[in-house]
Amino acid sequence: MAEFQTSIQDIDDLTIIHLNGYIDAHTYPMLEEAFTNQVERSRYKLVVDFTNIKYINSAGLGVFMAFIETMRGNAGDIKLAAMQPNVFNIFDLLGFPLLYEIFPTVEEAIQKFTNNNEAAS
Amino acid sequence: MKELEYPKYDLVVKSSTSQLAAIRSFIQVHAEENNVKPQVIEALILAADEAATNIVKHAYHQKTDQDILVDMLFKDGECTITLTDYGDPFDPSLVPQPDMQEYLKQRRVGGLGLYLIRTLMDGLEYESNRKNLNKLTLRKRFV
């Protein structure tokens, strides 16, 4: 049976959302909830770790679209990291790399936020 | 004399998003049996998942006790997946293909499924009769 879990890790003012499993029309509300929780905690600098995501469909992609403005409007961002090639391919087909920064590793996504923080200070 | 038979498989699931995983594994198993390349299998899985999601939403309006039939046929290097429902007709050919650049600019949510189906498949056919029998056929070459 397809399952989906999220776990949250805070590093200073960054939050890493680790995803695990399959994101489809059945499981995407859990992804939505993970983002809603961050907004409620005023955590807007997010790195999404796709290492353990095996599948995503348009319902999942829609969640990223729904939250990106909220995060950017609060001096944050959603940076995506560590996608398997089949998962990246779906983001790419829909042109998401124009709108989102996608990094090969979680560390690089974290580094990008850190560099931006240093540039701003 | 026995008629030449092509590999054909069918599955019936209830119209719940909880059944999408069953549809995906049905496609995975039979496509692998027929030596379809992994990239093509991924495209078939995603297109069928999006099509079944649209049936749950638009044909059955989230009623979860209705039937979705999924048929797969492998013939002459082409895989055909037919999804049948008995709900309200939803003809994808009446939905315009979005301009993705504009779509992203507007941060629109939803409607991406059909875009993916059209992009990933080689052919898409829809027929609906007066008895509310709707058939969506997805075609993809795999050799």
CA atoms A94, B40, B70, B20: torsion sign: negative
Distance from CA of B82 to the nearest CA of A (A): 19
Contact partners, residue A66, CB within 8 Å, separation at least 6: A32, A35, B107, B109
B138 CB near a chain A CB, below 8 Å?
A: no
Residue B3 has pLDDT above 80, yes or no: no
Question: How high is the mean pLDDT of chain B?
Answer: 92
Which B residues, 86 through 125, put their C-beta within 8 Å of a C-beta on chain A? 100-101, 103-104, 107-110, 112-113, 115-116, 119-120
In DSSP terms, which residues pair with A84 in a beta bridge? none
ipTM greater than cut 0.85? yes
Query: Strand B78-85 and strand B67-75: pairing?
Result: antiparallel
Q: Which of residues 11-40 of B touch A (CB under 8 A)?
A: 16-18, 20-21, 24, 39
pLDDT of residue A1 exceeding 50, the answer is: no
Q: Does A30 touch chain B (CB under 8 A)?
A: no
Q: How many residues does chain A have?
A: 121
**What residue ranges do the domains of chain B occupy?**
8-141
Contact (CB, 8 A) for B121 and B43 = yes
Average pLDDT, chain A: 95
**pLDDT per position as a tens digit, A80-107:** 999 999 999 999 999 999 999 999 999 9
Which residues are CB-contacts of B129 (< 8 A; sequence separation ≥ 6)? none
Is residue A59 less than 8 Å (CB to CB) from chain B?
yes
pLDDT at A65 over 80: yes
Query: Within 13 Å and on the Cβ side, how many CA atoms surround B69?
Result: 13
Question: Does position B69 have pLDDT exceeding 80, yes or no?
Answer: yes
- Shortest alpha-carbon distance between residue B45 and chain A (Å): 10
Which of A59, A69, A86 is closest, CB to CB, to B53?
A59
pLDDT at residue A118 greater than cutoff 50: yes
Beta strands A102-103; B134-141: pairing state: unpaired
**Residue A27's CB: how many other CB atoms inside 10 A?**
25
* Type of residue at B47: A
Supply the pLDDT for residue B68: 98
Q: Which residues is A9 bridged to in the sheet?
A: A16
Spell out the domains of chain A, with CATH numbers in brackets: 4-106 (3.30.750.24)
Q: Is A61 exposed, middle or buried (0-12, 13-18, 19+ CB in 10 A)?
A: buried
Instruction: Give pTM, 2 decimals.
Output: 0.93
Question: Which residues make Cβ contacts (< 8 Å) with residue A86, sequence separation at least 6?
Answer: A55, B39, B42
Q: How many A/B residue pairs have CB atoms within 8 Å?
A: 72
Classify domain B8-141 at the CATH class level.
alpha beta
Q: Return contacts of A83-87, CB within 8 angstroms, 24+ apart.
A: A83/A50, A83/A53, A84/A50, A84/A53, A84/A54, A86/A55, A86/B39, A86/B42, A87/A50, A87/A53, A87/A54, A87/A55, A87/A56
